Structure 1
Amino acid sequence: MKLIMDFKADWHDTLKEIMSNEWGMDTAGLTTDVPVHYFNAAQRRIPVRPRTLLISDTFQCPAEHQAGWELIQQKVKAGQDLTPHLSKFIEKTKKKDLMLNDWGVHHLHLGTLIENGFVERADPLLFARITDEYFYAIDVYDHASWTNGEIVETVHRNWPESVAHWVIQGVKGERHSDEERAALRKVHMNAFFLTNDQTTYGPLGGGTVASGHNIFSVIQMDIEHDRLECLERRLFEITDEVMPELKKAGYTDAAEVTAKLVLTEGFYAAFFPEYRLLVNFYPRTT
């Protein structure tokens, strides 16, 4: 019996379903680069969970936007969805966020009235670094502040432990102006950041590849593709163990059998569509 399978293609289809059905994205035209767009889109979103709110020593919110700031604080602590405060481009499949790639900083709108799923758009914006556990409120900036060096200086001064793994030891970075940083981002080039106290950081957001996507999007795709190739070999190796179940489901002597990858709760599974048989064959760790 020959197993016919393409787990990479199956995984790509699963990612497209998530992007389309859960995130409202148009996935038409995506081909072998589906995972890069998926991970890039996931990075721009903020998973819904409660977080500890930390506010910088220089944080100031204009009085006219205080209600919006209080609404965001409430949502952060309660673990409510922050998507309405994000850019409307969050639904654009191929959109990149260059500040997020470079510094790991999200920008959120401070409106309170929701229209078509998003709060009203206006200056200024709240800039924040967001992890699974913490919401680091950096400050409120205008739309021209994407490369303002004070953003990184504030993170470094207030929460150095949160970005310590990005410190470059034994190397002194070059100090760039805001305009130079903007020019580097425009051509998708990465640069170190030298703080006022001479600490050198690599890109706090991971960095950008030539396509403008976050480098982690490409790394995660490569890791998963390698895993899927291993899973195909694994399923082939355990064919004799699966055969009794296939025979119960109606297999006799077909020369070829198609297997599709399915992600079940806690397992990678193989689905044999001709026999409507689902077999969990390898545990998922994430």
Structure 2
Amino acid sequence: MKRLLFTLVFVLLLCSTARARTITDDSGRTISFDAPFTRIISLYGAHTENLFHLGLDKQVIGVSPGENYPAAVLSRPTFNARDGVEKFLAAKPDLILIRPMHWRAYGGLWNALARHGVTVVSLQPGSIDAVYGYWRALGKLTGREMQAEYMIEDFREGVRRAENRLATIPMGERPGVFFESIHRKIATFSPGSMPLFVLEKAGGVNVATDAKPRHGTNIANYGLERLLAKGGRIDVYLAQRGTMNDVSVQDIVNGPAASRIRAVLTRNVFLVDEHLVSRPTMRLLKGIDTVFQILHP
């Protein structure tokens, strides 16, 4: 009943607004459009995953190399920012979704595509609050505003369930955690980042609250000296594993002076899939459950 009422109100609201739509992307550009985009090339796995969640599997005509979730993306042609203009134009997209790093690195390509009438939008949220705006932007671009609101509602409900579960665990029983982002740099995550949101909702206590963001990213350099200084407070050592951090448990336990870290001595070193903790998708809820099971077996 609640969702039905929400749907009716939302439809009335849409009918009362002007047809032209506008968003501001993460490169600071204002994009205006009159109708939803229907032929989309997505060059970031999170974009693709969210588009499929919004029910846009038929509208996604291309993805970036290496994507494998959901499984249907395996049948899509792949595109790369290093591909020439002609390959993109041959697919006849009306929208290409990228990240800010792509916008900065390949500006010539995007400007050339824009001259041929292809809209290019750069999006990548860095915090949970920004994720909601990101999902709404995807919904507006594709005419799935209501579905985007459902995503937000479902995500918030999942977070509430995690918080209710956590309420049964006293603060004194919540382990101190170092959450590694990049092993070779001995880096962790910035305050307010998605991985630390996952850690908090899973009932872990971040021991690296003094970490400073690097170049305005979610990555925060930490260093061996500070890590070892906190070693006695690290009950669990977590590391995201994936393209950003191709690491093994052995890499961590064999690191310099690792024996000064309590989690190494007690064999509480674990890896977690970066897709579950670092991407702005509904799978962050699975990340919370996964980390909870590690911290509170």
- Which TM-score band applies after superposition, normalised by the shorter structure? under 0.3
Normalised to the residue count of structure 1, the TM-score between the two structures is 0.25
Tell me which protein shows more helix as a share of its residues.
Answer: 2
State the structure with bigger RCO (CA 8 A, min sep 6), 1 or 2: 1
